[in-house]
A and B are shown apart, each in its own frame.
Chain A
Amino acid sequence: MSKFLNASIAALLIASPALAGDKLGLGREALPEEIAAWDVDVLPDGRGLPEGRGDVFTGEEVFAAACASCHGDFAEGVDNWPVLAGGFDTLDDKDPVKTVGSYWPYLSTVWDYVHRSMPFGAAQTLSADETYAIVAYILYSNDLVDDDFELSHENFAEFTMYNADGFIIDDRAETEYAIWSGEPCMTNCKDSAEITMRASVLDVTPDVEEDSASDATAGSETQTAAVAETEAEETKTEEVAVAALDPALVAEGEKVFKKCSTCHQIGEGAKNRSGPILTGVMGRSFGGVDGYRYSKVFKAAAEEGRVWDDESMAAFLTKPKAYLKGTKMSFPGLKKDSEVAAIIAYLKSFDG
């Protein structure tokens, strides 16, 4: 071991059963190709970046195809998915908007994360150039660069993020530990204790009966019925065909569909995202949406004339990759038969 070890680390090593130099000869040497495949992290100073480049214009296209279904066309975030742009000057608010622009201190973090862990459900599929382009577009959507900006391994280190100086290293030892220690008060610690806030007022606690099969209660049945009624009224005015479906099941399916909505849209105004439009999917041919780039297995199924019915949809949704080997749908499958039935009812409620 190094003679430069500081005292505490040296002490730790000596105290441990695996003494310095006492190697067991286990494992094998990692090959350069293997290290290159896995060691792809990028350090704040830019070390680890591959060569490449991408501009805002290209980035907008790649972003629209790969990122916008969750993050929005303008990086504004869809539903609960992360907002990537804006939020400047909100960090001292009670609800700070922490975006790439307003909060992230290093550009390397953006590049590294996009390249390695995005898009959600298809990580490690973006090329270096695509990643440079997406990062350039995210900077543009934050008004941090102009529309003719191009990001590359050459100019990467020159860019300083907006909140680069916004962080301090953990100082709790100095600011907190000293004042929150010692013998605490045991009696007459304050004059009174009055309730100032109650959780029930907000009423955001999940209803825990829902997932507990063992105790179905009158209470939850009443609530389900109420939801179903509302849902029935809404669907009645929209489509007559829906009348044949169990509105409670459709309502349940709408909840389950949240798992799908990462990649799929359904209903009025739906567009192809990372997955095809699902409006009218029941009764349609496999691979039947124009303009969507299906995987080979879907194209083959379409040629065979296969059609989505209850049985095929249930089999696919239970184990997508087993049912259609080679599908690029990353969803692992629904575990409960009740969820499958609900989602099929929901899909049927949009008959295109």
Chain B
Amino acid sequence: MDDALKAPSRRAFLKGTAAVAAGSVAGAAAAGTPDPLITEVQDWASATGAGVDETPYGLPIRFEADVVRRNVEWLTASPISSINFTPIHALDGTITPQGCAFERHHSGAIELAKEDYRLMINGLVDTPLVFTYEDLERFPRENHVYFCECAANTGMEWAGAQLNGVQFTHGMIHNMEYTGVPLRALLNEAGLDAAGDLSDKWVYVEGADASSNGRSIPMEKALDDVLVAFKANGEALRMEHGYPVRLVVPGWEGNMWVKWLRRIEVTDMAVESREETSKYTDVLEDGTARKWTWVMDAKSVITSPSPQSPITHGPGPMVISGLAWSGHGKITRVDVSKDGGITWETARLGKQGDTKALTRFYLDTEWDGSDMLLQARAMDETGYVQPTKAQLREQRGENSVYHNNCIQTWHIKPNGEAENVEVS
């Protein structure tokens, strides 16, 4: 191994040593010294705590203050048109709280009140319509859990191991339970007879913000599972997630999930907007670019241990945990390798995978304290197997930014620290 390394992440290292120190206190207690946390009456066990009115809307306790979205400043010219990253290294289960779910804005997050909200449906429809927010809540509504992944997630890793933290390599993803109206119900309300043969028709969707972020969606998808959503995880969408109404396009790249949705136009061709030509297209090795690469292929990553979540407890029993997802449907299996892909064992799924939603996996295992090269490999219900970085590069070259769903490797060192690496 290379000795002339910089420390992978000072925070990860400090957090690691701090936790090891705490662990050794507990260890001392086990060795015979009574633990004062148990033998002495603590303040919280004697005095009273906070009253019910203290926080009308609660935030995480202050000890969790570092579980926050983070930005990579050098990625973009301005935070107004930028992206930040979900702290997936510190989360478990599958649902992402809205307050730490990654944000991507093209002209900043806007404040749009429900009473100022209007949704127009026009174009090749029988009757162009305008809905208010209240109108939307009068349609039959549904609940679905879906992941939303930016097409650029893991994009910085195309050229090689770059960012030392799963938050940064894989944090352009979140997973929420949405409440909303199927788009097909709204299209039906406007009437599609005027559109004629629907098999070659499109809907063009745009937002109310300055970027408008317009995207074309083929009618077949629009009539399938697209939702016009107004709640996430049981509460109103947060401003940064498109309050009061956003589009949910299950399994497809996040850029199509238009926030502050204001207009749906039925068209006879794709608009070929800026976001579907100059951006979110994939340049191949010969310079040709793939367009309309909407589906996010199956992908997985180990969230713990990882560079921001090192092993702090030393050798012995441990849980390797991560997330898997597929835009084609359900995750059926996740395999984990500790030796960089030479041998694999099948992990346990937290629960049966939902279609187009995050699935949590666990490998309950023993660590002998030696180096590990940790990898996860997802399979979905179509039989697709997540490719290695080498396999992806063989097909697409290295000119791409988007749709990188390669297998990720973490190097776990004997002291428990982890680093983002690439392996042969």
Contact between A206 and B70 (Cβ–Cβ < 8 Å)? yes
Contact between A112 and B273 (Cβ–Cβ < 8 Å)? yes
Bits for A196-213, please: 1 = Cβ < 8 Å to B, else 0. Answer: 111111111111110111
Taking CB atoms, residues of chain A closer than 8 Å to B165 are: 205, 208
Contact between A123 and B278 (Cβ–Cβ < 8 Å)? no
Contact between A184 and B377 (Cβ–Cβ < 8 Å)? yes
Contact between B274 and A113 (Cβ–Cβ < 8 Å)? yes
Taking CB atoms, residues of chain A closer than 8 Å to B168 are: 205-206
Q: How far is the CA of A180 from the CA of B139 in the complex (A)?
A: 42
State whether the Cβ of A336 lies closer than 8 Å to any Cβ in chain B.
no
Q: Which of A13, A39, A123, A177 contacts B223 (CB 8 A)?
A: A13
Taking CB atoms, residues of chain B closer than 8 Å to A204 are: 72, 74, 162-163
Q: How far is the CA of A12 from the CA of B385 in the complex (A)?
A: 28
Question: From residue A124, how far is it (CB to closest CB) to chain B in Å?
Answer: 7
Q: Which of A112, A124, A193, A198 contacts B339 (CB 8 A)?
A: A193
Taking CB atoms, residues of chain B closer than 8 Å to A12 are: 184, 220, 223-224
Contact between A219 and B120 (Cβ–Cβ < 8 Å)? no
Contact between B223 and A170 (Cβ–Cβ < 8 Å)? no
Q: Which of A79, A91, A93 contacts B77 (CB 8 A)?
A: A79
Give the dominant DSSP class at A's interface.
loop
Question: Smallest CB-CB separation from A223: which chain B residue?
Answer: B10
Q: How far is the CA of A35 from the CA of B165 in the complex (A)?
A: 47
Q: Which of A141-176 contact B (CB under 8 A)?
A: 166-172, 175-176
Q: How far is the CA of A88 from the CA of B204 in the complex (A)?
A: 30
Q: Which of A307-346 contact B (CB under 8 A)?
A: 332
Bits for A172-188, please: 1 = Cβ < 8 Å to B, else 0. Answer: 10011100111011111
Interface size on A, residues (CB 8 A): 107
Taking CB atoms, residues of chain A closer than 8 Å to B62 are: 214
Taking CB atoms, residues of chain B closer than 8 Å to A186 are: 335, 343-345
Contact between A35 and B120 (Cβ–Cβ < 8 Å)? yes
State whether the Cβ of B143 lies closer than 8 Å to any Cβ in chain A.
no
Q: How far is the CA of A205 from the CA of B71 in the complex (A)?
A: 10
Taking CB atoms, residues of chain A closer than 8 Å to B122 are: 30, 35, 38-39
Indicate the member of A109, A170, A196, A206 with the most B CB atoms within 10 Å.
A206
Contact between A44 and B272 (Cβ–Cβ < 8 Å)? yes
State whether the Cβ of A98 lies closer than 8 Å to any Cβ in chain B.
yes
Contact between A117 and B212 (Cβ–Cβ < 8 Å)? yes
Taking CB atoms, residues of chain A closer than 8 Å to B285 are: 92
Q: Which of A2-10, A129-137, A236-244, A290-298 contacts B (4 or more CB under 8 A)?
A: A2-10
State whether the Cβ of B271 lies closer than 8 Å to any Cβ in chain A.
yes
Contact between A182 and B383 (Cβ–Cβ < 8 Å)? yes
Interface size on B, residues (CB 8 A): 132
Contact between B287 and A198 (Cβ–Cβ < 8 Å)? no
Q: Which of B91-99, B123-131, B348-356 contacts A (4 or more CB under 8 A)?
A: B123-131
Taking CB atoms, residues of chain B closer than 8 Å to A91 are: 283, 287-289, 399
Given the interface contacts A2-B193, A106-B277, A187-B343, does A168 sit within 8 Å of B290 by beta carbon?
Answer: yes
Contact between A193 and B340 (Cβ–Cβ < 8 Å)? yes
Contact between B164 and A41 (Cβ–Cβ < 8 Å)? no
Taking CB atoms, residues of chain A closer than 8 Å to B28 are: none
Contact between A208 and B9 (Cβ–Cβ < 8 Å)? yes
Taking CB atoms, residues of chain B closer than 8 Å to A13 are: 184, 188, 223
Contact between B107 and A109 (Cβ–Cβ < 8 Å)? no
Contact between B292 and A106 (Cβ–Cβ < 8 Å)? no
Bits for B226-256, please: 1 = Cβ < 8 Å to A, else 0. Answer: 0000000000000000000000000000000
State whether the Cβ of B1 lies closer than 8 Å to any Cβ in chain A.
yes
Q: How far is the CA of A141 from the CA of B140 in the complex (A)?
A: 52
Taking CB atoms, residues of chain B closer than 8 Å to A182 are: 383, 385
Q: Which of B36-44, B145-153, B194-202, B312-320 contacts A (4 or more CB under 8 A)?
A: B194-202
Q: How far is the CA of A169 from the CA of B288 in the complex (A)?
A: 11
Q: How far is the CA of A188 from the CA of B339 in the complex (A)?
A: 11
Taking CB atoms, residues of chain B closer than 8 Å to A196 are: 421-424
Question: From residue B205, how far is it (CB to closest CB) to chain A in Å?
Answer: 11
Question: From residue B159, how far is it (CB to closest CB) to chain A in Å?
Answer: 7
Contact between B220 and A8 (Cβ–Cβ < 8 Å)? yes
Question: Smallest CB-CB separation from B424: which chain A residue?
Answer: A194
State whether the Cβ of B54 lies closer than 8 Å to any Cβ in chain A.
no
Question: Smallest CB-CB separation from A181: which chain B residue?
Answer: B383
Given the interface contacts A9-B198, A16-B184, does A176 sit within 8 Å of B343 by beta carbon?
Answer: no
Q: Which of B307-362 contact A (CB under 8 A)?
A: 307-308, 335, 339-345
Taking CB atoms, residues of chain A closer than 8 Å to B199 are: 5-6, 9
Q: How far is the CA of A290 from the CA of B73 in the complex (A)?
A: 34
Indicate the member of B65, B127, B138, B289 with the most A CB atoms within 10 Å.
B289
Q: Which of A80, A201, A206, A259 contacts B80 (CB 8 A)?
A: A259
Taking CB atoms, residues of chain A closer than 8 Å to B164 are: 199-200, 205
Q: Which of B354-392 contact A (CB under 8 A)?
A: 373, 377, 379, 382-387, 391
Leading 9 A-B pairs by shortest Cβ distance: A193-B340, A91-B287, A80-B77, A92-B287, A199-B420, A123-B210, A30-B128, A18-B185, A27-B129
Q: Given contact pairs A91-B399, A108-B272, A189-B341, enumerate 20 new A-B contacts (beta carbons under 8 Å).
A: A4-B197, A9-B223, A18-B189, A39-B265, A91-B287, A105-B272, A116-B212, A170-B292, A176-B387, A180-B385, A186-B345, A188-B342, A189-B343, A193-B342, A196-B421, A205-B307, A212-B11, A212-B68, A259-B78, A262-B77
**Interchain residue pairs with CB less than 8 A apart (13):** A30-B121, A39-B123, A43-B269, A123-B211, A123-B212, A168-B288, A170-B290, A172-B290, A177-B382, A195-B2, A198-B161, A199-B420, A200-B6
